[in-house]
Structure 1
């Protein structure tokens, strides 16, 4: 069984696109990256994270692959901070990231910030990641529901991302795959305006990636929009 991903990114209503994506079907790695820090800084930070994930060597089982991804992201964290200190007078720059790994029926997700991974299976959509945001903490505490969180004035505040701290703190989850799932990785330009039910409907109707991005823009997203959909090619 081979897992294949397709990705699409668009600047949306922004002047430039500070998002990036990675699709390495052969190695079972997919990622969505959302740069922060303004035009030059955000675009560069996203590019640095993307390059770190595109060039890392993957081998061994899922544990070895997780270590390789974490090491690559830690290296990108130091590189971004060094660039900001030397060339940008320490102007804040960084990138949120979510990485999906699949190898022989085992999967893992690694992330920092509010880029997300969803799993669609048995006609149900589940968000597997938890945003590194104060608003997510309020949701987890039962003080906000999804719609309130999406419209909260601090919805864009994050406390973890590649490049914003001396030591990058990553979260990870490991799980098994059945081969029937489809996965959606998205930047917050998508899920800041489309809730879980909206995304489930798009996946249920097998809307194209262009359609997913259009749905977010039609709903009023003012950010860059990026999505990757990963599914098993059961004919392989």
Structure 2
């Protein structure tokens, strides 16, 4: 892990559900981070997400590229499911210095945040996203659609060739990379996420603020997020450095 890459991460049950089917992976020794959102109900969803992130880590540690590692994780969840119907979404990033590979399946998301605003790097594998792409729904309508939680790709589905979304990029100093489950994006829109980035003083504070705001908005699902930034200590960005980025971001938002 490069010394200049810092992160903070947290996963919570939310305000309605009684158990957490999300899982997160922080493996700085591999330059690897991931969020998985399990499906299938109590125990099955928890198992699916846990199996996925463990298999992903093992595959990357064995030298597999990220997309191949996601496929290996899919196979591991299929084997663990044994026809039970459990599955999980996954969004993962692998860093090599400032350069990164991003891969996902389902509707867990990745965002880049900088002084120019917030950019969604992933593209949901979901029913409502397909309808938006076809021009049948607006993004605002998609957020309220009764079937907005239906995903079209996930790890663990038998007899399905998993479609893995992939992008590459480079994270610049003064930018953040955010990985999250739909428990966050189901409660907060992109602008609200950006506003929290502009007000937080540290990466840990940013994660806490995002989770608290999602809970205040209802917290109807499990909520998980990871934020990463360059020019930061190993676990948490120093307040002086964070303020350097966030003050510029806030100034850009107000101008």
TM-score by length of 1: 0.88
SS of the equivalent of 2:150 reads coil
Report the counterpart of residue 62 of structure 1 in structure 2.
Answer: none
Structure 2, gaps ≥5 residues long: 235-255
Cα distance, 1:93 vs structure 2: 0.6
TM-score by length of 2: 0.82
String of CA shifts for 1:169-227, please: whole Å, max 9, x gaps. 21101122322210111100000111010111011112531221111111113110001
The answer on whether the counterparts of 2:87 and 2:156 sit within 8 Å (CA) in structure 1 is yes
Report the counterpart of residue 207 of structure 2 in structure 1.
Answer: 209
The answer on whether the counterparts of 2:55 and 2:76 sit within 8 Å (CA) in structure 1 is no
Match of 2:7 among 1, 5, 19: 5
Cα distance, 1:141 vs structure 2: 3.3
Report the counterpart of residue 181 of structure 2 in structure 1.
Answer: 187
Cα distance, 1:15 vs structure 2: 1.1
Give yes or no for the alignment of 1:20 onto 2:23.
Answer: yes
SS of the equivalent of 1:179 reads coil
SS of the equivalent of 2:167 reads strand
Report the counterpart of residue 91 of structure 1 in structure 2.
Answer: 84
String of CA shifts for 1:11-31, please: whole Å, max 9, x gaps. 112111000111122322111
Matches of 1:235 and 1:4, distance apart in 2: 5
Report the counterpart of residue 138 of structure 2 in structure 1.
Answer: 145
Match of 1:135 among 108, 128, 136: 128
SS of the equivalent of 2:81 reads helix
SS of the equivalent of 1:39 reads coil
Cα distance, 1:104 vs structure 2: 2.6
SS of the equivalent of 1:56 reads helix
Matches of 2:93 and 2:79, distance apart in 1: 27
Q: Tell me: CA distance 1:106–1:42, structure 2 relative to 1, closer, same or farther (3 Å).
A: same
SS of the equivalent of 2:211 reads helix
Report the RMSD for the aligned CA atoms in angstroms: 2.0
Pairing 1:29-48 to 2, within 5 Å after superposition? 29-48=32-51
Cα distance, 1:234 vs structure 2: 5.2
Report the counterpart of residue 194 of structure 2 in structure 1.
Answer: 200
SS of the equivalent of 2:29 reads helix
String of CA shifts for 1:116-150, please: whole Å, max 9, x gaps. 00110114011110100121122223433332111
Structure 1, gaps ≥5 residues long: 60-64
Aligned length, in residue pairs: 226
Matches of 2:73 and 2:56, distance apart in 1: 9
The answer on whether the counterparts of 1:117 and 1:127 sit within 8 Å (CA) in structure 2 is yes
Report the counterpart of residue 164 of structure 1 in structure 2.
Answer: 157
